[in-house]
Amino acid sequence: MSSFYWWLVLAVGLIEVPLGIWALRRPGMTLAILITITGLWSIVTGIWQIVIAFELRNLAQRLRGETELAPRIAT
């Protein structure tokens, strides 16, 4: 069931990376440190979610492949 929502994690990641870059490009604002930390966090979280989205998408196929190989190895 969790692999069904891989696209949602990917979408959030694709939104957060540009948001983080945009926030980092505005260091002159009043809360520059907060924006910088938030920007870095958004970039890291966005990249992580993009990677996890692709991993979740392929997880079912990998698990199916492992269960198909298990009986062959045992025999």
Residue 42's pLDDT band, with cuts at 50, 70 and 90, is: very high
Q: What is the rounded distance in angstroms from the CA atom of residue 21 to the CA atom of residue 32?
A: 14
Q: What is the pLDDT, as a whole number, of residue 28?
A: 67
Pair 38, 29: CB distance under 8 Å: no
Residue 53's pLDDT band, with cuts at 50, 70 and 90, is: confident
Mean pLDDT of 38-49: 91
Mean pLDDT of 44-72: 80
CA distances, 40 to each of 9, 12, 25, 30, 69 (Å): 18, 15, 11, 17, 42
Better-scored residue on pLDDT, 53 or 4: 53
Q: What is the pLDDT, as a whole number, of residue 73?
A: 58
